[in-house]
């Protein structure tokens, strides 16, 4: 019998274990893992010498072995997760929701106040909106520089990330962080590490929405 046929038979025999695997003891499991490793390295050596047809069989067998190993590991991972999940601390969702709502709401209220002030002083609505965004972006960057915004973000979560000040924070924080690597490879290259995805996908989505609007 060819080597790969023996390996295939052993593989098939192990496939029967998938169901009983969770109940097996650690030594038995380790032996199975060892058996897979041993067969795997045999295949690795056989592959380069094999002619085309046989090689396909070997490659298929190796893929099966790797899948089998992964499947067994996944069962172990699941068992472990079932054990550890109850031990993990749970975040206080209610408190987090309230904080996010209050802080996010406050930032937006401040924005609305600024906008009303602009409009009361004769700025047209469209320009007032632009000026307000600019001011809020400045404030976000300013408080990042003072080291306040991360303290706020720690408590408010999405409440301070989602508004435009959060966007300014992500740009300013990256700029501060990478200043030491110089203005080209540091600030210039990495200023959008966090904000970049927002810009890329924001632009993409706006194009899509523009297309929908057009047609």
Q: Which is nearer to another protein, 47 or 142 (CB)?
A: 142
The least CB distance from residue 198 to another protein, in Å, is 13
The least CB distance from residue 14 to another protein, in Å, is 20
Q: Which is nearer to another protein, 91 or 122 (CB)?
A: 91
Q: Which is nearer to another protein, 110 or 131 (CB)?
A: 110
The least CB distance from residue 80 to another protein, in Å, is 4
The least CB distance from residue 136 to another protein, in Å, is 14
Among 32, 2, 26, CA closest to 14: 32
**Site of tokens 């990330």:** 161
The least CB distance from residue 79 to another protein, in Å, is 8
* Contacts of 191 by beta carbon, 8 Å cutoff, 6+ apart: 171, 174, 175, 178
Residues at the interface with another protein (CB under 8 A): 73-74, 76-78, 80-81, 83-84, 87-91, 96, 144-145, 147, 149-157, 160-161, 166, 169-170, 172-174, 176-178, 180, 193-194
Q: Which is nearer to another protein, 53 or 91 (CB)?
A: 91
What gap in Å lies between CA 158 and CA 169, rounded to an integer?
13
Q: Which is nearer to another protein, 48 or 86 (CB)?
A: 86
């Amino acid at each position: 019998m060819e080597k790969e046929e023996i390996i295939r038979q052993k593989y098939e025999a192990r496939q029967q274990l998938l169901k009983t695997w969770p109940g097996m003891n650690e030594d038995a499991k380790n032996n199975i893992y060892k058996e897979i490793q041993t067969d795997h390295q045999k295949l690795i050596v056989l592959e380069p010498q094999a002619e085309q047809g046989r090689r396909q069989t070997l490659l298929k067998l190796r893929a099966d072995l790797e899948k089998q190993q992964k499947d067994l590991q996944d069962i172990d991972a699941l068992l472990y997760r079932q054990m550890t999940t109850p031990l993990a601390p749970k975040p206080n969702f209610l408190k987090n929701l309230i904080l996010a709502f209050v802080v996010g709401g406050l930032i937006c209220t401040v924005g609305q106040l600024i906008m009303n002030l602009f409009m009361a002083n004769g700025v047209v609505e469209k320009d007032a909106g632009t000026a307000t965004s600019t001011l809020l972006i400045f404030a976000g960057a300013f408080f990042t520089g003072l080291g306040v915004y991360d303290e706020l973000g720690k408590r408010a979560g999405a409440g301070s990330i989602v508004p435009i000040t959060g966007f300014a924070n992500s740009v300013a924080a990256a700029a501060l962080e990478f200043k030491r690597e110089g203005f080209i490879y540091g600030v210039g290259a990495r200023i959008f590490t966090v904000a970049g995805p927002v810009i890329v996908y924001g632009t993409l989505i706006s194009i899509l929405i523009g297309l929908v609007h057009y047609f």
